[in-house]
Amino acid sequence: MDEVGAFDAKNRLSALLDKVEHGEEIVITRRGRPVAKLVPVAADSDREQRSREAMRRIRERAKKFGGKFDWEEWKRYRDDGRR
């Protein structure tokens, strides 16, 4: 992963976007501290696809167990993990 200063990123944006388009990630820094990251858009859509696939598997398992699936219980499990 490349790091580029903000001033340099502004001057080389087109070249940086070419790199990102080819799958690279670029961290933009200000005074040596990371402040932003350029990533390919496909990375976000992959995450969304994985989330949809996980929801599909959850629904299939719920049907397998008689369709009894307590969403509120699972939301509590999720929220407990965030504390």
Query: How far apart are the C-alpha atoms of 28 and 12, rounded to whole Å?
Result: 12
Confidence band, pLDDT 50/70/90 cuts, at residue 77: confident
pLDDT at 6 over 80: yes
Write down the pLDDT at residue 66.
75
Query: How far apart are the C-alpha atoms of 38 and 28, rounded to whole Å?
Result: 8
Residues forming beta bridges with residue 63, ordered by sequence position: none
Summarised one tens digit per residue, pLDDT across range 7-63 is 999 999 999 999 998 889 999 999 999 999 999 886 666 778 888 888 888 888 878
Sorted by where each starts, the structural domains of the chain and their CATH numbers stand as 1-66 (3.40.1620.10)
Taking the model in full, what pTM does it have? 0.51
Contacts of 24 (CB under 8 A, 6+ apart): 1, 2
